[in-house]
Structure 1
């Protein structure tokens, strides 16, 4: 973690709200999935400290991308230098996008490196984990929906034209008689 000043005031309140969103069970599920995909023996407890320590250098995350998309990340750095670790994390995020994770479910490098928002890291890993079965590895979370395109004949489409919906002004004889909203007051 960088040598940032301790937050205070509104910034501290905002950070505590961000930290409160972190879910240890979901983080543990993510770490279990990472261990299953990479085959590495890692501490799979979901505590924020452990989650951060396991993933902070980004090398394990890069290995996950290379298991899903072989050769996607050419060089995984094992260095503890800040810019090398941040490069690994950024490579993971870019690889996750190429694997199909929507950009709104990814995170910024500082969210992990500076431990700003570990919940967004969990969301990104979960999103990537849902796509696992597409790449021949186990998946986590709910199964993603598949496209269900339906084709209707012209006759089926025209059949709906003869039905009078209750939303077309007829509500079984009810009308707006007696409504006075908007009327002037009669003296």
Structure 2
């Protein structure tokens, strides 16, 4: 593991974004819970938490305490042989094996697979935010399974079923859903269907008779250049005849 190349290119940006999700308040809540259950003294700080949990021994101790304090255990847990034994060897693959034992036990206890983290997320500090999220979810499942001890994480959600009668289901068919539009707000009240649509407001013309004699700019302008002084139908000369008369003189 010590010879592994460092992140390069887009991996650096991905790592930076994952690390930005690491929350200090969540860390404090999780670390306090771990220390209460296991009697360990995990220090605060992303690097410190990763170093303390990296070998997986504290995680296995944590899940053993959770199993001991839950009665009855979920049906999926009874198939697992516990308490789990942590490997104390310093070999990297043995430490990662401890982490995998914890992940398997947490999933059997009720933690959704989508909330678990990958082994490298902890062992190589790839995504410590996901590690905290998994531990929080384990605390939530402790609340769901009536764990006899301190917990952490948000309260669990439960399925709530609704039963409707046939009359209620039939009445719902007469309701216009909002996806089909709303029958509130703007309406056609006061409008005459099929009436002439005027571009301008004819009521404004009735109020001001002066406006009827004005040509709007959209129809052209009656100002500026005009035909004033021009004789309609006269001969059009190519050259100016007045200049010719001046030169003859």
TM-score (norm 2): 0.62
1:171-182 → structure 2 map (5 Å cutoff): 171-172=183-184, 174=187
Match of 1:129?
Answer: 139
Match of 2:168?
Answer: 156
Match of 2:64?
Answer: 66
Q: Deviations over 1:124-178 (max 9, x none)?
A: 1111111122232322122111121121222222232344556556725747x9x
Q: Any unmatched runs of 5+ in structure 2?
A: 69-80, 194-249
TM-score (norm 1): 0.81
CA RMSD of aligned residues (A): 2.4
Residues 174 and 93 from structure 1, CA distance in 2 versus in 1: closer, same or farther, beyond 3 angstroms? same
1:1-187 → structure 2 map (5 Å cutoff): 2-38=2-38, 40-45=39-44, 47-70=45-68, 72-133=82-143, 134=145, 135-164=147-176, 171-172=183-184, 174=187
Q: Any unmatched runs of 5+ in structure 1?
A: 178-187
Deviation at 1:20, TM superposition (A): 1.7
Rg bigger for which structure? 2
CA distance in 2, matches of 1:43, 1:167: 52
Residues 169 and 112 from structure 1, CA distance in 2 versus in 1: closer, same or farther, beyond 3 angstroms? closer
Report how many residues are paired. 174
Deviation at 1:66, TM superposition (A): 1.3
Match of 2:229?
Answer: none
